[in-house]
Amino acid sequence: MPDNIEHISISTSMSVLAAKQQLQPMKPHIVVLPSPGMGHVVPLFQLAERLVTHHACHVTFLNIPTEASPAQTQLLHHSPNNLPPGLRVIDLPTVDLSATINGDPPVLTRLCINVQQTLLSLKSTLSQLHNKPRALVIDLFCTQAFEVCKELSIPVYTFFTASTLLLAFSLLLPQLDREVTGEFVDLPEPVSVPGCSPIRTEDLILQVTDRKSDEYKWYLHHLSRVPLAAGIFLNTWENLEPVSIRALREHPFYQKISTPPLYPIGPIIKETEPLTPTGVECLAWLDKQPLDSVVFVALGSGGTVSAEQLTELAWGLELSQQRFIWVARAPSDVNACAAFFNAGDDVYGSISYLPQGFLERTRGVGLVVSSWAPQVAILRHPSTAAFLSHCGWNSTLESLAQGVPMIAWPLYAEQRQNATMLAEEIGVAVKPAVEAGTRVVGREEIEKVVRVSLEGEEGKGMRLRARELKASASKALEFGGSSYSSLADVVEQWKAKLET
């Protein structure tokens, strides 16, 4: 009798537990892994938060701490108690790169070597997690994870952190590599991308402009492996890039190469950020400015301009006589992405590199801050009318999500392609012209585009178009919207696997 009673008790408990699980479906455990750099870490971290808060997942976010910028460390580790329940951040083991990196290689080469060495520990890390992950989400430079996860029977999804047009070009790249002799930048015509707008050779992503370089080899290596993914998350929404999305879904070329299922889930962007005293100062200054009167000047977490260009930019802003907030960073005559690996380490640096007397002459009209400002809050502010931006995809999405048009100032990576698309296809940006025979945008041209964006009819048209996209972006992310539903469909697939 006692044995029977115990058996009944256990069976009853198991029945109650099963009933509770039916009422409260199990949460899938998802692992998210970005390569270093704020342009990749920020959107994947925002995706991790969205999976937890909107789609009932448990998420482990794997951080690559080797050579992480101060801004990256600050984002992931400053306030761990503020993470939503169900999200945790784990640092992968640091690695010594001294034996594998020679000299001072370009950013992408350095980043890819770092990831390659760090992910030697990925199998061990995934195996030690308490609950087996139902999926791993990586960015485009972590494709070593495909082999590791194949051994562990974990499906891998790619989060493409740039535009859909760049993905379309990148999936074409292996064929171009086989068929084209010489350099792509020397082709007599724009590059024809199946089902999409052609890309002018001067707008090609920087990493494919020298096919003999390690940068090109790394980019080709990783992007040629994207078809191995179980699916591709796109940081865009259906109304922003309808032509490119349709091409990837329907064009015979992309069907022939077995392009994985596409899930437009954007805009996945930073919604808020902690305010420093500098941030408070920026917003207080904006509160005193008229509606739609300020141009916000910021060139990304890693971007820099030459000393000559910085001087011209200062003079152009001054000559325009328009209100501005300028996030000014020390110039570099060597590299347009010189701040990539140290973003955030000079927030309180001096701004002695500005033209003599500039601060005094623009006092009351402009506000200059060193290296950092609360970008999302500034773009959201009703006094902000335009954004002089490097056109990185995160900044582009943040601007459009707030209905702010842009002055396109591309620096590196795929930013020239973004700038052209924003100006010529989407209609939310104006591109300043570089002076003939130089690499510098002159002060008169800067004065002109600032005035156009804030005062002219062209600026009003861009602002109207940007506000239309703001509304469509908001609708896409709402419950039942296209981006919300796209991500929800994938989560339902993950949950269904828990029940089998």
Residue-level pLDDT at 500: 60
Residue-level pLDDT at 348: 41
CATH superfamily, domain 27-266+477-498, is Glycogen Phosphorylase B; (3.40.50.2000)
Residue-level pLDDT at 351: 78
Residue-level pLDDT at 81: 67
Residue-level pLDDT at 13: 39
Coil, strand or helix: which one is 160? Answer: strand
Residue-level pLDDT at 2: 39
Residue-level pLDDT at 9: 34
| CA–CA distance, 217 with 207 (Å, rounded to integer) | 9
Q: Which of 356, 351, 358, 362 is nearest to 329 (CA)?
A: 351
- Which burial class, exposed, middle or buried, applies to 83 when counting CB atoms under 10 A from its CB (0-12, 13-18, 19+)? middle
pLDDT (tens digit per residue) in 223-250: 999 999 999 999 999 999 999 999 999 9
Quote the DSSP letter at residue 302.
T
The domain limits of the chain are 27-266+477-498, 277-474
pLDDT (tens digit per residue) in 182-217: 999 999 999 999 999 999 999 999 999 999 999 999
Residue-level pLDDT at 342: 56
Residue 40 annotated in active site = yes
Angle, CA 156 vertex, CA 153 and CA 159 arms, to 5°: 170
Q: Which of 174, 195, 197 is nearest to 253 (CA)?
A: 195
Fold match, 27-266+477-498 / 277-474? yes
Residue-level pLDDT at 104: 87
Coil, strand or helix: which one is 222? Answer: helix
| CA–CA distance, 67 with 209 (Å, rounded to integer) | 26
Q: Is the CB of residue 69 less than 8 Å from the CB of residue 341? A: yes
Residue-level pLDDT at 352: 84
Q: Does domain 277-474 have CATH number 3.30.565.10?
A: no
Cα 196 to chain centroid distance, Å, stands at 22
What's the length of the chain? 500
**Residue-level pLDDT, tens digit, the chain, 500 residues:** 334 333 333 333 334 333 334 444 589 999 999 999 999 999 999 999 999 999 999 999 999 999 999 889 988 987 666 789 999 999 999 999 999 998 889 999 999 999 999 999 999 999 999 899 999 999 999 999 999 999 999 999 999 999 999 999 999 999 999 999 999 999 999 999 999 999 999 999 999 999 999 999 999 999 999 999 999 999 999 999 999 999 999 999 999 999 999 999 999 999 888 888 999 999 999 999 999 999 999 998 777 899 999 999 999 999 999 999 999 988 988 765 555 555 555 444 457 889 999 999 999 999 999 878 999 999 999 999 999 999 999 999 999 999 999 999 999 889 999 999 999 999 999 999 998 888 899 999 999 999 999 998 999 999 999 999 999 999 999 999 999 999 999 999 999 987 66
Angle, CA 9 vertex, CA 6 and CA 10 arms, to 5°: 90
Residue-level pLDDT at 335: 67
Residue 55 annotated in active site = no
Identity of the amino acid at 337: C
For residues 47, 51, 53, 56, the Cα torsion angle rounded to the nearest 10 degrees is 180
Contacts of 432 (CB under 8 A, 6+ apart): 407, 408, 409, 441, 445, 446, 448, 449
| CA–CA distance, 282 with 370 (Å, rounded to integer) | 12
Q: Which of 29, 40, 222, 381 is the catalytic position?
A: 40
Q: Which of 29, 58, 139, 381 is the catalytic position?
A: 139
DSSP structure string for 421-442:
IIIIII--EE-PPPPTTSS---
The tally of CA atoms less than 13 A away on the side-chain side of residue 395 is 32
Cα 219 to chain centroid distance, Å, stands at 17
Q: Is the CB of residue 116 less than 8 Å from the CB of residue 144? A: yes
- E strands within 282-393? 294-298, 323-328, 366-370, 384-389
